[in-house]
Amino acid sequence: MRRLLLIGIVLTGLLCPSVLWAADPLPRSVLVLSQGFSGAPWPTAVHQAIRSALNARVSSPVAVYIEELDLARFGGPQFEQALVSYLRERYRQKEIGVVVAVGSDALELVLNLRKELWTEVPVAFAAVDEATARGLKYPSNVTGSTMRLRFQDAVTAARILVPNFNRIVLVGHPLEGNPYRRQFVKELPEYTMGLERIDASMLTMTEIRKRVAALPNDAAIYYTGIYLDGTGRTLIPYEALSTVAETANRPIVVDADTFIGQGAAGGFVLDPIAVGQDVAGRVLRILDGEAASNIPVTAGNFSKLVFDWRQLKRWKVDENLLPPGSEIRFRPPTMWEQYSSQMTIGFAALLVQAAMIAWLLLERRRRFFFESESRGRLQDVIHMDRVAVVGAMSASIAHELNQPLGAILANAETAELLLAASPIDRDQLKEILADIRQSDQRAAEIIAHMRGLLKKTGASELQEFDLNDVIRDALHTLEPEARRRGVLVGPYQVQGALPVRADRVHLEQAILNLATNAMDAMANCPPDLRKMMLQTAFIGASEAEVSVIDSGTGIPKDRLKDIFQAFYTTKRKGTGIGLSIVRTIVEIYGGKVWAENRPGGGAVFRFTLPLCKAHPA
């Protein structure tokens, strides 16, 4: 255990030369002495960046005190003396781990203060102009980064903003008195383009505004900050920029991040957050035990190219021509950025709706498809049954057809004989021809009717007709078959017109089915007792009833309900389809079908159909 501890200490010593300080950790509190005034945007942004970077690690918070000293307007030995006493009193109870100086003047001040106050406390600095820093002699325990504004950057930005750029107009405090920009004086001769300097300290704001409103169109304004005007009034550069920009007729290039948004078009600007984060990084290293003198002073590059979207529009600068990596601010949020959640919900709802509609349409299509398919199947089955019914009567139909054919043949042969005779009997020939025509028509009618029955229809052909007509048709079709089977078809009782709406062929088929069924039921009866009757009647004012009455054996009571089911049959040769087809047909047209036994023997099959015109009761 002791050996392990020893090795640990040796290793720590090898890896970290500041192991001696580490033994006595610094208090985690930082005093920021800033040269800005309270509320100055750029320094304030730096302070905030320092504060948030120092407290990024929640586990080890750092207390941050900020003193904004307004060194542009205050200074001198007495001020410094008073400041020392003030700070000493104020921070008597507070141990300070690191002093941070923000700004060149602040650094100079801190280095002076250290002679009396916080002598051993390490110092980190930020926002110190390179030129100023070069003139300083750092004591030990001081670190930081310098920064530098370059006139060339402003020229580059101006070229981007003004295509035919040929003239730069410097608006601001004289460069010589500007702590961060005095080095421009040396750079200026390098540039051969036109240069105009509007010395704000010599002019009133009104005059400045007039001057910037009348610039040639190959010019760009470089705003370097106005602290004082010609009347001696102190101005805040940040606010003065807005006032100037209001009347400026050329784009304004700036070099400080916080000027963007005040009417400036853009430029390479110093980023206060990057500056603050740099110094905060150094502070943290010191607080973690590293010696400040071991952290080298470096020249930082905190500039980035930033533009104001509104100004780009105003000066008609194509965004696509900006150098890659340029930051554009104040772009109005797109609909999407503004209402992304609402739009997402909206689109999602729309999508869901569209999907549902599509699904429903698909379902509808499928249902339609299957319905029409099943309708087609039903039509097929009905047709098949009709073919079967008609087929069962084929002998009678052939007989029926052979009557006129026989007459035609006999007539034709007679005509031949008459033509061969010596006095040609023209009158009889005429009669013969008339009879042939009549017989031919009769044969054609039989065939047409059969065709009508056997024709395969795709869908029901709805038409309005008198139900009695269909029954007469059916009787006509049935008659030869009834005769063949020795069934007496009783007189058909008509009861007024029964207008119904249906497919005629279907109804005739239903009646033929019932009649065939009735005749089958009488097959074993003595010939004199084979009687069948068809009747129609009104049921109330809105329904017609058709009855097919036979004198057969009747239906066993327990089977009255089954007989309309498909494939139910009592006949040896039956398919069990006929009556179920009758029910299907009747139900298609909104009716009912049922069977009863007659008291005197035999059965009655009845079906009803709705009338399409109410019966005047």
**Interacting residues toward other proteins by CB under 8 A:** 395-396, 398-411, 413-414, 417-418, 421, 428, 432, 435, 438-439, 442, 480, 483-484, 486
Kindly tell me which of 57 and 484 has the beta carbon lying closer to other proteins.
Answer: 484
Kindly tell me which of 1 and 420 has the beta carbon lying closer to other proteins.
Answer: 420
Instruction: Dihedral sign for Cα 436, 438, 443, 447, please.
Output: positive
Least distance (Å) between residue 392 CB and other proteins:
14
Kindly tell me which of 110 and 389 has the beta carbon lying closer to other proteins.
Answer: 389
Kindly tell me which of 350 and 409 has the beta carbon lying closer to other proteins.
Answer: 409
Kindly tell me which of 486 and 610 has the beta carbon lying closer to other proteins.
Answer: 486
Do 343 and 295 touch, CB atoms closer than 8 A? Answer: no
**How far is the C-alpha of 237 from the C-alpha of 259, rounded, in Å?**
9
Least distance (Å) between residue 443 CB and other proteins:
11
Do 297 and 143 touch, CB atoms closer than 8 A? Answer: yes
Kindly tell me which of 6 and 412 has the beta carbon lying closer to other proteins.
Answer: 412
Kindly tell me which of 408 and 593 has the beta carbon lying closer to other proteins.
Answer: 408
Least distance (Å) between residue 611 CB and other proteins:
34
Kindly tell me which of 420 and 617 has the beta carbon lying closer to other proteins.
Answer: 420
- List, as one string, the DSSP characters of 249-287: SS-EE-SBGGGBTTTB-EEEEE-HHHHHHHHHHHHHHHH
H runs (alpha helix) in 421-541: 426-454, 467-485, 504-521
Least distance (Å) between residue 456 CB and other proteins:
26
Q: Is 337 strand, coil or helix?
A: helix
Do 592 and 520 touch, CB atoms closer than 8 A? Answer: no
Cα angle, residue 378 at apex, residues 372 and 379 outer, rounded to 5°? 85
Tokens read off for 31 = 């005093």
Least distance (Å) between residue 527 CB and other proteins:
10
**How far is the C-alpha of 383 from the C-alpha of 379, rounded, in Å?**
6
**How far is the C-alpha of 234 from the C-alpha of 227, rounded, in Å?**
6
Least distance (Å) between residue 531 CB and other proteins:
14
Least distance (Å) between residue 421 CB and other proteins:
8
**Neighbouring C-beta atoms of residue 442, cutoff 10 Å:** 17
Kindly tell me which of 365 and 484 has the beta carbon lying closer to other proteins.
Answer: 484
Do 250 and 314 touch, CB atoms closer than 8 A? Answer: no
Least distance (Å) between residue 498 CB and other proteins:
28
Extended strands (E) in 312-358: 327-329
Least distance (Å) between residue 602 CB and other proteins:
22
Least distance (Å) between residue 434 CB and other proteins:
11
**Neighbouring C-beta atoms of residue 497, cutoff 10 Å:** 14
Count Cα atoms within 13 angstroms, Cβ side, for 538: 15
Kindly tell me which of 285 and 442 has the beta carbon lying closer to other proteins.
Answer: 442
Least distance (Å) between residue 373 CB and other proteins:
40
Tokens read off for 399 = 């007989």
Q: Which residue bears the tokens 């709705």?
A: 610
Kindly tell me which of 16 and 407 has the beta carbon lying closer to other proteins.
Answer: 407
Kindly tell me which of 178 and 396 has the beta carbon lying closer to other proteins.
Answer: 396
Tally the residues of the chain: 617
**How far is the C-alpha of 181 from the C-alpha of 225, rounded, in Å?**
10
Instruction: Dihedral sign for Cα 11, 16, 20, 22, please.
Output: negative
| Terminal Cα distance for the chain, rounded | 119
Q: Is 143 strand, coil or helix?
A: strand
Kindly tell me which of 399 and 615 has the beta carbon lying closer to other proteins.
Answer: 399
**How far is the C-alpha of 430 from the C-alpha of 474, rounded, in Å?**
34
Do 233 and 203 touch, CB atoms closer than 8 A? Answer: no
User: 564-590 burial, b if ≥16 CB within 10 A, otherwise e?
Assistant: beeeebeeeeeeebbbbbbbbbbebbe
Least distance (Å) between residue 435 CB and other proteins:
6
Burial class (CB in 10 A: 0-12, 13-18, 19+), 595: buried
Least distance (Å) between residue 533 CB and other proteins:
17
Least distance (Å) between residue 429 CB and other proteins:
10
Q: Phi, psi at residue 431, to the nearest 5°?
A: -60, -45
Do 169 and 218 touch, CB atoms closer than 8 A? Answer: no
Burial class (CB in 10 A: 0-12, 13-18, 19+), 212: buried
Kindly tell me which of 388 and 410 has the beta carbon lying closer to other proteins.
Answer: 410
CA-based radius of gyration for the chain: 57
Kindly tell me which of 84 and 429 has the beta carbon lying closer to other proteins.
Answer: 429
Least distance (Å) between residue 517 CB and other proteins:
22
